[in-house]
Amino acid sequence: MLYVSWNCPSDMASAHHDRAQVDIYEKLPVPFGLVRFGVAPDHPEVKNVINTFTQTARSDRCSYYGNVAVGRDVTVRELQQAYHAVVLSYGAEDSRALGIPGENLAGVYSARAFVGWYNGLPENRHLKPDLSCETALVLGHGNVALDVARILLSPLDLLRKTDITASSLAALACSRVKRVWLVGRRGPLQVSFTNKELREMINLPGARPVLDPADFTGLANAVKDAPRPRKRLTELMIKTALEQPAQETAAAREWGLRFQRSPQEVLPTADGTRARGVRVALTLGGSGDSAQAVPTGEVEELEGGLVLSSIGYRSLPLDPAVPFDPRHGVIPNSSGRVRGAPGLYCSGWVKRGPTGVIMSTMNDSFDTAQAVLEDLQAGVLDVAASREGFGAVGSILRSRGVRPVSFSDWEKIDAAEVARGKAAGKPREKIVDPEEMLQLIGH
């Protein structure tokens, strides 16, 4: 029997080996990681991947153990002693800092925390963002930036039909935000959001796009030979910018893209307690994806009492026994094999950095699983030596007072959430307090 421990909240993938037993450890009581806590509530179709994960978790060769924090409740070395292979796939649970004065002022939040707040991530349930201003600034030009802008401007009737948390829906109902500017350091050819996300934003009911046609001068020719996704994305921005005069101007809300502006300082209010805007340096850049933003010497002040930083995520070290590259925020590896640690593997954002969508992360986990199989066939993994798997880990957890949550336990939580949601006319009402989750299943 090959025992594999998969510390993996969002990539529930079992290696194709007819004797493999995969145990999944998750820090929270509930599974699905990024799919549950990262995907926007108005994108239910993306969450359908949960069905595949559930099929895997219900396999008699796969077991789920939630409420177990690897690195705290059980060490990686203890897992290595209990399993033939250990795969670390814990993602990127921190945000990149802006590194500018004023980013700790009230009214400044990471987009990661904001997304976690409206998606019910327990650590962000007490965020209480101040939505009393009319203008919000989102620093970044990626899909997450568009997500938070869309949630801020979406009609409440649309959000009420989603699994957005009750507390965030109540806060958004009182929001005064009616204008969102998405600010990026580089130009239109370097935006990292996708065509689908942009089109959804353009078609958002009750919100008017405001794009400056001058930002796109000459770009139609510049992208003629560009890859098709980049060409289509640029053409959509150009079309939207040129059609603005004919659009309905009485929209209650509006949003726009601000290019070639690099944040220099979050500006405080007169009393120094809150954010009132952001000072940006105007930049110049080249035409390629890797073009750098070069300051011109000019600065500009953008007004906005809500500032959301969406400039990327970063992974954190998990355990002293695991090598970690703090500069790149990844576990040093070769095709998923952790360098200098036979039998230890990694997958997802902690393997290659915080880029890509759920499908690319799933494919990456398949590649790591293939590396495990190759090492098994090559004799790198000594499966002749017996390993106890959860039999050993369970004893360690009991000695430390840790009670794991099984997949059947999760299904009880799931049923309760769905029932609460049905009563409110929603697909589910997420439970955001881990203690309430544990009480529900008798822990």
pLDDT on residue 10 = 46
User: Both 129 and 245 in a single domain?
Assistant: yes
User: Both 140 and 247 in a single domain?
Assistant: yes
Among 312, 327, 351, where does a domain finish? Answer: 312
Please check whether residue 222 lies inside any domain of the structure. yes
User: Both 321 and 307 in a single domain?
Assistant: no
The pair of three-digit structure tokens given for residue 46, joined into one six-digit string: 């993306």
Among 266, 297, 312, where does a domain finish? Answer: 312
User: Both 261 and 342 in a single domain?
Assistant: no
Residues 6+ apart with CB under 8 A from 413: 29, 30, 431, 437, 440, 441
208 CA to centre of own chain: 26
* C-alpha triplet 287, 255, 41: angle, nearest 5°: 100
Please check whether residue 412 lies inside any domain of the structure. no
Please check whether residue 372 lies inside any domain of the structure. yes
Judge contact between 23 and 6, C-beta under 8 A: yes
Domain of residue 392, residue span: 2-93+315-405
For CA atoms 419, 422, 424, 428, give the dihedral sign: positive
User: Both 303 and 155 in a single domain?
Assistant: yes
The pair of three-digit structure tokens given for residue 214, joined into one six-digit string: 């001058």
Please check whether residue 422 lies inside any domain of the structure. no
Instruction: Give dist(CA 199, CA 178) in Å, integer.
Output: 19
pLDDT on residue 361 = 80
Total domain count for the chain?
A: 2
Please check whether residue 417 lies inside any domain of the structure. no
pLDDT on residue 372 = 93
pLDDT on residue 364 = 85
User: Both 52 and 102 in a single domain?
Assistant: no
User: Both 123 and 257 in a single domain?
Assistant: yes
CA atoms within 13 A on the CB side of 294: 7
Q: What CATH number corresponds to the domain at position 226?
A: 3.50.50.60
- pLDDT tens-place values along the chain, 443 residues long: 455 555 655 454 444 577 788 999 999 999 998 889 999 999 988 888 898 889 988 899 999 999 999 999 999 999 999 999 999 999 888 888 899 999 999 999 999 999 999 999 999 999 999 999 999 999 999 999 999 999 999 999 999 999 999 999 999 999 999 999 999 999 999 999 999 999 999 999 999 999 999 999 999 898 988 999 999 999 999 999 998 755 555 678 999 999 999 999 999 999 999 999 999 999 886 556 656 778 788 999 999 999 999 998 889 999 999 999 999 999 999 999 999 999 999 999 899 888 877 778 888 888 999 999 999 989 899 888 889 999 999 999 999 999 999 999 999 999 999 999 999 999 999 999 999 999 999 98
pLDDT on residue 42 = 93
Instruction: Give dist(CA 254, CA 22) in Å, integer.
Output: 49
SS3 108: strand
User: Both 60 and 146 in a single domain?
Assistant: no
User: Both 58 and 173 in a single domain?
Assistant: no
User: Both 319 and 398 in a single domain?
Assistant: yes
Single pTM value for the model: 0.90
Q: What CATH number corresponds to the domain at position 17?
A: 3.40.50.720
User: Both 285 and 146 in a single domain?
Assistant: yes
Please check whether residue 421 lies inside any domain of the structure. no
Among 273, 293, 312, where does a domain finish? Answer: 312
Q: Which amino acid appears at position 413 of this protein?
A: I
Please check whether residue 433 lies inside any domain of the structure. no
User: Both 297 and 150 in a single domain?
Assistant: yes
Please check whether residue 146 lies inside any domain of the structure. yes
pLDDT on residue 147 = 97
